[in-house]
Amino acid sequence: MAFLHKNLTKEDKQKIKDKIRKQERNLLKKTVIISTVVFIIIASVMYYIITKILSH
């Protein structure tokens, strides 16, 4: 793979970096959304369990 980088211009390298950054942002957005949903589900389950325990 190293030989591929020898013939790239600065513009090509910048385009590749920009594309990688965009993919990283998209991955970060997905990670944040999934983490938030999982947190809400876990918090809801814990609230339900605690209210059941305290009601007895």
What's the confidence (pLDDT) of residue 25? 96
Q: Would residue 9 count as lying in a domain?
A: no
Tokens of 1: 């793979």
In this prediction, residue 21 carries a pLDDT of: 95
Tens-of-pLDDT digits for all 56 residues of the chain?
A: 555 666 778 898 899 999 999 999 999 999 999 999 999 999 999 999 999 999 97
Q: Is residue 13 part of a domain?
A: no
- 28, two tokens: 């970060």
Residue 15 maps to a domain = no
40 inside domain = yes
Domains identified in the chain, total number: 1
Structure tokens belonging to residue 11? 């513009």
Answer yes or no: is 14 within a domain: no
**Residue span of the structural domain in which 33 resides:** 22-56
Distance from CA of residue 11 to its chain's centroid? 28
